[in-house]
Amino acid sequence: MWERRAGEWAAWARTPGQDVHFTHLNWPAFAELLPPPGRLTLDLGCGEGRVGRQLRPAGHRVVGVEPAPTLAALARDAGGYEQVLDADATALPLGDGAADLVIAFMSLHDMDDPAGAIAECGRVLAPGGLLCLAIVHPLNRPAEALADYFAHQRVVVPVEANGLTMTFEAIDRPLEHYTRALEGAGFVVEALREPRPDAAVVAEHPRLAGAAAWPLFLHARCRRAG
């Protein structure tokens, strides 16, 4: 899906002022969970590379992982990464304990096997390392999908703003699917957040009004045991 939508996504993510949900809600709240830079930060599902561009100036040594060839090329060209690996999240070409931080920012819910990806995160993290993840909130799904919350359901959501369109495709899953995967991979959840814009942010960016009353995203900071 992401290879098919690569052009749409690059325009959506890189047009100044377009993705207000990222700029004024999702990323600022997520950044509060991140530790200081360490030996190596892995950006899992890096897309066109905007997370790396945020992290590099803060001192992180970042390696990206992206299976969609067009997006991986965009991430390499835009900078922010020491390298971008064309790889699947369930089979990372890194040694055991190679990283001390894995970031999965808005990527796990797009994967066919997020539990396998979380297990790989546990393998490549050193003991005590952190996995910081952001997903679409399990309650942020079409009304018809909420009729069976526990089902795994593929969703297609077209969005239009300022003359640009982006079609998001993901797999809605219950929260327990992720927490069980984290338990199985030896992670302990240290922090769990549901970012919400304050009144001043909503007044400046009215497109965020819905997020003040209903959760759009879910963030977690998880530590590998041992």
Residue environment code for 16-29, b if the CB has 16+ CB neighbours within 10 A, otherwise e? eebbbbbebbbbeb
By the 8 A CB rule, do 119 and 131 touch?
no
> Cβ neighbours of residue 171 under 8 Å, at least 6 residues apart?
109, 110, 111, 112, 152, 153, 154, 155
C-alpha torsion angle, residues 79, 80, 83, 87 (rounded to 10): -100
* CA atoms of 85 and 191, how far apart (whole Å): 29
To the nearest whole percent, how much of the chain has pLDDT over 90?
94
The domain ranges of the chain are 6-137+174-221
Q: Does domain 6-137+174-221 have CATH number 3.40.50.150?
A: yes
pLDDT per position as a tens digit, 197-215: 999 999 999 999 999 999 9
pLDDT per position as a tens digit, 69-102: 999 999 999 889 999 999 999 999 999 999 999 9
* CA atoms of 43 and 14, how far apart (whole Å): 18
Binned at pLDDT 50, 70 and 90, residue 188 comes out as very high
CA R_g for the chain? 17
